[in-house]
Amino acid sequence: MKITYFGHSAFRIETGTSVILIDPFLNGNQHFTGDLATAGRGLTHIVLTHGHEDHVGDTVELARMSGAKVVGNFELTMWLAAQGVQNVEPANTGGTLKFADFSVTLTQAFHSSGRIGEDGSVSYLGMPNGLVFHFTDGPTVYHMGDTDIFGDMALIEELHHPKVGLVPIGDRFTMGAAVAALSCRRYFAFDTIIPIHYGTFPMLDATPAKFVEAMEGDSGKVKIPEMGIAFDL
């Protein structure tokens, strides 16, 4: 299984015959230096945590280019269908969707989800989610989405036993470094932790340094991948 981190919350996962993009905010993401055609080569699925623009990103264009299935909560996928996305897979918190090489379960996340129109109007796009991926050829991956810490993370560990955590650390709009480290150390038995949602905008922490420090004796679990370069899990 190959994973590529594009910065912010965006990932590409290649597993078996499936190619998955998570939260494909690429154009407008200062850490993304490639192009949509390359990032979406062979794309079969787009999976979204919530409806904010910096997570939905280029979903409509990528779906048009590839015909990929787009997975997300009900309100968000219905909104995307209204934007012309033809192959939506609606779900909701607690639900699991099964595909050839993987399944994905939507968990809760403590955040918000919506979109601001050009006239200032707000479109509600359902509850935000985390995503737990079970793969046939790789470890279980938990993308926390945008969230604060919450006690029911213990249930996610009990139900799914994720070994890879994609953990927001940037503060302001998600938990910050110290709280993110606490969530990993208290609730999960991760083998690998990839910090995300930092450095994209001036209001976020610029680097994962504070998170690595807060992980203390578990800092060896933290992997900071080179953005845009695939690595194996």
Count of helix runs (H) and strand runs (E) in the chain: 7, 15
Mean pLDDT along residues 125-151: 98
In a domain, 211, yes or no: yes
In a domain, 135, yes or no: yes
Give the domain extent around 120.
Answer: 2-225
> Which residue shows structure tokens 């979109």?
115
The CATH number of residue 45's host domain is 3.60.15.10
In a domain, 93, yes or no: yes
- Are β-strands 2-7 and 231-232 bridged in parallel, bridged antiparallel, or unpaired? antiparallel
- Asked which of 108-112, 121-125, 170-174, 195-199 is least confident by mean pLDDT, the reply is 121-125
In a domain, 232, yes or no: no
What pLDDT was estimated at residue 144?
Answer: 99
Percentage of the chain beyond pLDDT 90 is 99
In a domain, 188, yes or no: yes
Spatial CA neighbour of 177 closest among 198, 156, 163, 202: 198
What secondary structure letter does DSSP report for 216?
A: G
Spatial CA neighbour of 143 closest among 100, 90, 197, 182: 197
The reply to whether the predicted model has a pTM over 0.95 is yes
In a domain, 233, yes or no: no
- Let me know: does 49 contact 22? Beta carbons within 8 Å: yes
The number of domains in the chain is 1
In a domain, 230, yes or no: no
Mean pLDDT along residues 138-149: 98
Spatial CA neighbour of 59 closest among 38, 41, 34, 84: 84
Give the count of beta carbons closer than 10 Å to the beta carbon of residue 99: 18
Mean pLDDT along residues 176-200: 98
What pLDDT was estimated at residue 5?
Answer: 98
Residue 131: helix, strand or coil by DSSP? strand
Strands of 186-232 (E only): list them.
192-196, 231-232
Helix 59-66 with 74-82: angle, nearest 10 deg: 70
